[in-house]
Amino acid sequence: MFNFALILIIAGSIILIGLGVWVYQRRELGSKPELEQKLLNTNAEAAIEDPDAVIIASEYGQLLHINQKARQWLNLRAGTPSLEYVARNTKPVDNFRSLFSGKSVATFQLGDRWVEGAALQIPAEGEMRTIVTLRELTENGHTNGNSNGVSISSSMRIIGEMGETINASQSVEQVLQSVLAIISKNVEISGGEI
């Protein structure tokens, strides 16, 4: 009988110590969700000045946060879209998805912009989260915030417009005039001649 009482006392002590450690850890971790929420709440003014679009997703593919710049690029009004919705707006979609499966850098088209995505995986709340930053590419390979170059997106739009406007049945003069008209409409020039 004495051994049983001793076992109960030891077991009760272990349980009380475990609860004490658990309460202490919860108290220490209690401020981190508030800090995370502060980090996720982006300042609207900073988002306008910042050239980066940011997407945060859980390891299970749930979109947790999308900042204002990414919302503008995707023409989103309110709510948090799914990661699949964002993926449907990318080409090639495999490059975008590779950022969430371990690849650290990829280039793809998001809507009508060519962007470079960089991914970072961090542990948070017992799971891995992927933070993807997106920057629009320019003609010389630098991102928009670091260069005065023409964006690749603008160049691709001009080429696309030329492809839609010009056809094989046009004469050489008509083609040249169409090319000049498209370029003068998209690039600031004071005069042009071919």
* pLDDT over 50 at 142, yes or no: no
For residues 100 and 130, the answer to whether their CB atoms sit within 8 Å is yes
* Average pLDDT value for residue range 113-121: 86
Residue 134: both structure tokens together: 């997106």
What per-residue confidence (pLDDT) applies to 146?
43
* Average pLDDT value for residue range 64-80: 83
Among 123, 146, 152, residue whose Cα is nearest residue 59: 123
* Average pLDDT value for residue range 120-148: 72
Higher pLDDT among residues 12 and 34, named by residue:
12
Residues 6+ apart with CB under 8 A from 88: none
* Average pLDDT value for residue range 169-190: 81
* Average pLDDT value for residue range 92-111: 85
What per-residue confidence (pLDDT) applies to 179?
82
Higher pLDDT among residues 143 and 93, named by residue:
93
What per-residue confidence (pLDDT) applies to 149?
47
Among 90, 93, 86, 43, residue whose Cα is nearest residue 68: 43
Residue length of the chain: 194
Q: 90-91 and 105-110: which strand pairing?
A: antiparallel
Distance CA 87, CA 97 (A): 7
For residues 131 and 124, the answer to whether their CB atoms sit within 8 Å is no
The single residue listed with the structure tokens 């793809």 is 108
* Average pLDDT value for residue range 48-58: 75
Comparing 33-37, 76-80, 120-124, the range with the smallest average pLDDT is 33-37
* Average pLDDT value for residue range 117-139: 84
* Average pLDDT value for residue range 46-69: 78
* pLDDT over 50 at 175, yes or no: yes
pLDDT in tens, 24-39: 777 766 555 555 555 5
In Å, how far from its chain's centre is CA 21? 38
